[in-house]
Structure 1
Amino acid sequence: MSGTTAIRAAALVTMTALAAACQSTEEPAAEPTAAPSATAVPSATAPPAATATPSPVTAANTAAVCAAVDKLIIAKSKEIAADSAAATRRQLTPEQINDQVKADLADLADDVRGQAARAEDPEIKALVGDAARRIEAGANSSAPVKWLGSSFVEIPQRLTRECRA
């Protein structure tokens, strides 16, 4: 893959992931959550999922953790896209681009792991922790730009579906 192709692929993938993270399959909530975000996050007053019903304290923490993870993924996706555009201007090699993407993914994995540690609901802790592990796998991948297109895009979609109070 040439440097320009890798850059374009990284930008396309991150923007796709960003768009996927912003789309919700849920109907809009009647009221905003206690921690509003730029993306659709079901409110703490939404009906509970078919799984175990979290306590009100956990539900509030879950909404905050899910919103924080969503914001982290969106911000890092934007950063990767901006870095990809800058890499074109600087004419970075594919190896340099891969190193840059690896560093961005490692930072994101650390940030998401921090949110998993905050989660009070064990299911949300496990879900967010799994997302961090998957992102870390991308950071450790020999082809992180390719990983973005094949695996990263699934992470925000899964979180949008499952990370809610």
Structure 2
Amino acid sequence: MSGTTAIRAAALVAMTALAAACQPTVEDRAAPAGEPTAATTPSVTAAATPSATASPSRVTAANTAAVCAEVDKLIIAKSQEIAADSAAATRRQLTPEQINEQVKTDLADLADGVRGQAARAEDPEIKALVADAAQRIDAGARSSTPVKWLGSTFVEIPQRLTRECHA
């Protein structure tokens, strides 16, 4: 992969991930404006069988929302940084190896930030989900071809978090 192609690929992947993180969920898109979604409509089953584990406590739900929002912010900010770094790499005429090292550093930083949010999570399911995302991002940072990893694996991480990381 040439340096210019690698830069364009990294920028495209970063912007794709950024866009994916900001997309509404399937439930949000399916409901007409003003109508409740599956996420806001109470489940008859849940109401009929209350238990201590059926829904997170108010404290956990608030913490979950904060953790999920912070993970989103981290991913968006780092995606923007990767895109900006990729554009700057063109001007500086970096080699593909230099670009890969830069992307590895960015991914390692992102994994550390996401791991920090996993440690904050009070809900065990959210803690596991966010920790898994950090491990996956770490795998990208260790990849021999992190730009390719961005295009094949990274784009799935924000999409999964959008679907599953919520109170």
**Distance between the aligned counterparts of 1:105 and 1:91, measured in 2?**
21
| Structure 1 residue 53 displacement after superposition | 1.3
1:60 corresponds to: 62
Alignment pair present for 1:104 and 2:131: no
2:135 corresponds to: 133
Q: Contact 1:138–1:147 at 8 Å: present in 2 too?
A: yes
**Distance between the aligned counterparts of 1:116 and 1:67, measured in 2?**
12
Q: Contact 1:102–1:138 at 8 Å: present in 2 too?
A: yes
Query: For 1:27-42, what aligned pairs fall within 5 Å after superposition?
Result: 27=28
Alignment pair present for 1:89 and 2:94: no
Q: Which amino acid aligns with 1:122?
A: P
**Distance between the aligned counterparts of 2:143 and 2:8, measured in 1?**
19
2:4 corresponds to: 4
**Distance between the aligned counterparts of 1:152 and 1:91, measured in 2?**
25
**Distance between the aligned counterparts of 1:52 and 1:122, measured in 2?**
13
**What's the CA shift string for 1:66-125, capped at 9, x where partnerless?**
000000000000000000000000000000000000000000000000000000000000
1:19 corresponds to: 19
Residue identity over aligned pairs, in percent, reads 85
Q: Contact 1:138–1:144 at 8 Å: present in 2 too?
A: yes
**Distance between the aligned counterparts of 1:79 and 1:22, measured in 2?**
16
Q: Contact 1:24–1:161 at 8 Å: present in 2 too?
A: no
> Compared with structure 1, are the counterparts of its residues 47 and 3 closer, same or farther at alpha carbon in structure 2 (3 Å cutoff)?
same
1:76 corresponds to: 78
> Compared with structure 1, are the counterparts of its residues 133 and 48 closer, same or farther at alpha carbon in structure 2 (3 Å cutoff)?
farther
Alignment pair present for 1:152 and 2:154: yes
**Distance between the aligned counterparts of 1:53 and 1:131, measured in 2?**
23
> Compared with structure 1, are the counterparts of its residues 47 and 61 closer, same or farther at alpha carbon in structure 2 (3 Å cutoff)?
farther
Q: Which amino acid aligns with 1:103?
A: T
| Structure 1 residue 48 displacement after superposition | 7.3
TM-score by length of 1: 0.86
If you compute each CA radius of gyration, which structure gives the higher value, 1 or 2?
A: 2
Q: Which runs of 5+ in 1 are unaligned?
A: 29-44
The list of structure 1 runs, each at least 4 consecutive aligned residues, that deviate by more than 2 angstroms after superposition, is 45-52
Q: Which runs of 5+ in 2 are unaligned?
A: 30-38, 47-52
Residue aligned with 2:55, SS: coil
